[in-house]
Structure 1
Amino acid sequence: MPSPILIKCSNLLKQKKLTLATAESATAGRFCAELAIIPDCGEILKGGIVCYDACIKQDVLGVPPELVEKYTPESAEVTAELANRLRHFMKADIQVAITGLPMPGGSESEEKPVGTMFIHLLIKEKHVAIRQVFKGTAEEVILQTIDRIAQELIDQLS
């Protein structure tokens, strides 16, 4: 069941006749999946690319390997590049890119602990970059990230 905030966001996007596409790494398509079960989501959701592994970020979306090597696959820089590259794959009013560390096993460090999530929204030509650390299980971190994106879209579009 999608969260109330995501439903509110979906309704606002429909009301404003805006479309959305995603490049999802850490959330592995969950943002799209949550949107897809909201009535009339076909009016807003163009589609998404799951780019969990760095090779998909590079080979499919064209993120330069040097960027991934310098900043890690889970970084603000790579997330911004994903949002920019997504524009060439899916025409939408809004691009949403997500990377991060919902569980151990990535590039976590003292400065970037597990729970750190990177979001980059490209709303027409406006860039919104978010770095936030969430607490909880991997699923809780992912669901909190989805709600954070929904709230930011509401804030930006209201």
Structure 2
Amino acid sequence: MASHKVNACCQALIEKNLTISFAESASAGKMCYEFSTVFNSGKILIGGIVSYHSSMKEDLLHIPWGTIEKYSAESAEVTKLMAQNFCRYISSDICVALTGLTTPGGSESEEKPVGTIFIHIIIAEKEIARHFEFEGNPESIINQAIDAVAELILEEI
């Protein structure tokens, strides 16, 4: 069941007749799923893509070769490109991209610990980029990130 924040965000999108789509990495489709569980979600949810592995980001989301190597798959730069490139092919009013670290490994470092999440949202001509550090287990980190996305959208629309 969707959180209160996701519910509120979806209701606002429905009222304003706005659609939404997702390009997800760390959340592996859970964000799209959460938005799909809200009553009347068919009025707003266009869909999403899960690009967990770098090859998906490069092959399907057209992240230029070498970009991930330079910045890492979990970075503001890659998240921004995921949102921008996905938005070109999907007809939706809002496009959300999310990457991050929910488990040890990957590009984890002192500057980028587990719990680091990058979000990039495109709404009309405006782009919102945020970097969060959440605490908890992988599921908790993802749930906090999904709520953060809902809050950011609510603030903007």
TM over 0.5: yes
The residue identity in structure 2 corresponding to 1:142 is: I
1:5 shift after superposition: 0.6
How many pairs does the alignment contain?
Answer: 157
Match of 1:92 in 2: 92
Match of 1:42 in 2: 42
**1:149 counterpart SS class:** helix
Measured in 2, the distance between the counterparts of 1:68 and 1:105 equals 15
**1:110 counterpart SS class:** coil
1:105 shift after superposition: 2.1
Dislocated runs of 4+, deviation >6 Å: none
The residue identity in structure 1 corresponding to 2:90 is: M
Could you tell which deviates more after superposition, 137-146 or 101-110? 101-110
Structure 2: which 5+ residue stretches go unaligned? Answer: none
Measured in 1, the distance between the counterparts of 2:103 and 2:89 equals 29
Match of 1:19 in 2: 19
Match of 2:120 in 1: 120
**2:96 counterpart SS class:** strand
1:12 shift after superposition: 0.3
Structure 1: which 5+ residue stretches go unaligned? Answer: none
User: CA RMSD, aligned part only?
Assistant: 0.6
**1:49 counterpart SS class:** strand
The residue identity in structure 2 corresponding to 1:123 is: I
Q: 5 Å matches for 1:132-151? A: 132-151=132-151
The residue identity in structure 2 corresponding to 1:10 is: C
1:87 shift after superposition: 1.3
- When normalised by structure 2's length, the TM-score is 0.98
